[in-house]
Structures are given as structure tokens and as C-alpha cells.
């Protein structure tokens, strides 16, 4: 199972997609969303790398997640695969 974050495919969420790609995730369209995924066990997105506005950063998880949140702060989003 991949680790994946889903964000609405609109310009406002492009900085989140850039932060995910900087963290090694791959983006692909999934309907009205971008699926940002990796086969790695963990991923850490950094807000400062893409100049993401605060409101958009805190809405980054509204599209869904395949995985679990390890830590979510105003600067980093640490995600991991679900434990089997």
C-alpha cells in the first residue's frame, strides 16, 4: 500500500503539491484531486519550502489521506503508512 495525500487540483493547493514533490512524493490526477503518493514508509512535508499560506497549509488534509498523521505542526506535516 502506498502512502498518499489528496488535495483538490486547484491553484490554491499547488504549493502543497510542490512541498509534497520536494519530499519525494509523486503527483498524479485522480478526478478533481491530485494524488500525492510515495512507496516510502514515511514522508515529511515542509511548509517553508513552498511558501504555503497558513490557511492552505491547515487545509492540506481536507482531500483525504491513505496513511496516518505522525505529527502536524505549523511548519511540518509528517505522514506514515498505516501499521499492518
pLDDT at 84: 67
73 near 8, Cβ under 8 Å? Answer: no
pLDDT at 51: 83
Phi and psi, residue 16, nearest 5°: -65, -40
Tens of pLDDT, residue by residue over 36-55, are 999 999 999 999 877 899 99
pTM of the model: 0.91
Cα 51 from Cα 42, distance rounded (Å): 22
3-80: CATH architecture: Alpha-Beta Complex (3.90)
What is the arithmetic mean of pLDDT over 29-38? Answer: 96
User: Where are the chain's structural domains?
Assistant: 3-80
Per the prediction, the chain carries an average pLDDT of 94
Q: Cα separations (Å) of 45 from 5, 31, 52, 53?
A: 11, 23, 11, 14
Amino acid at each position: 500500500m502506498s502512502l498518499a495525500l489528496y488535495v483538490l487540483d486547484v491553484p490554491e493547493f499547488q504549493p502543497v503539491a510542490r512541498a509534497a514533490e520536494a519530499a519525494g512524493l509523486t503527483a498524479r490526477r485522480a478526478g478533481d484531486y491530485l494524488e500525492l503518493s510515495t512507496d516510502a514508509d514515511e514522508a515529511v512535508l515542509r511548509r517553508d519550502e513552498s511558501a504555503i499560506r497558513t490557511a492552505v497549509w491547515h487545509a492540506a488534509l481536507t482531500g483525504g489521506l491513505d496513511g496516518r498523521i505522525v505529527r502536524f505542526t505549523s511548519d511540518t506535516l509528517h505522514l506514515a503508512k498505516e501499521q499492518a
